[in-house]
Amino acid sequence: MTDETWDKLEAFARKELGKPVFGRLTVTPTSRLEEDLGLTGVDAIEFIDKWAETFGVQAQGFPYDRYFGPDGLDVVSSVLGIFSKRFRQSTLVPLTLGMLADAMRFGRWDTELLEAQASQRGA
Assign residue 29 the CATH number of its domain: 1.10.1200
Residue 123 included in any domain: no
Residue 34 included in any domain: yes
Residue 123 has pLDDT above 60, yes or no: no
Distance CA 51, CA 47 (A): 6
Residue 67 included in any domain: yes
Q: In this predicted model, which residue has the larger pLDDT, 90 or 15?
A: 15
| pLDDT tens-digit map of 11-66 | 999 999 987 777 788 899 999 999 999 899 899 999 999 999 999 999 999 999 99
Give 122's pLDDT tier (boundaries 50, 70, 90): confident
Range of the domain at 66: 4-116
Q: Could you tell me the pTM of the whole model?
A: 0.81
Residue 52 included in any domain: yes
Residue 22 included in any domain: yes
| pLDDT tens-digit map of 104-118 | 999 999 999 999 999
Residue 16 included in any domain: yes
The angle, 0 to 180 degrees and rounded to 10, between the axes of the packed helices 4-17 and 41-55 is 140
**Total structural domains within the chain:** 1
Residue 41 included in any domain: yes
48, burial (CB in 10 Å: exposed 0-12, middle 13-18, buried 19+)? buried
Residue 122 included in any domain: no
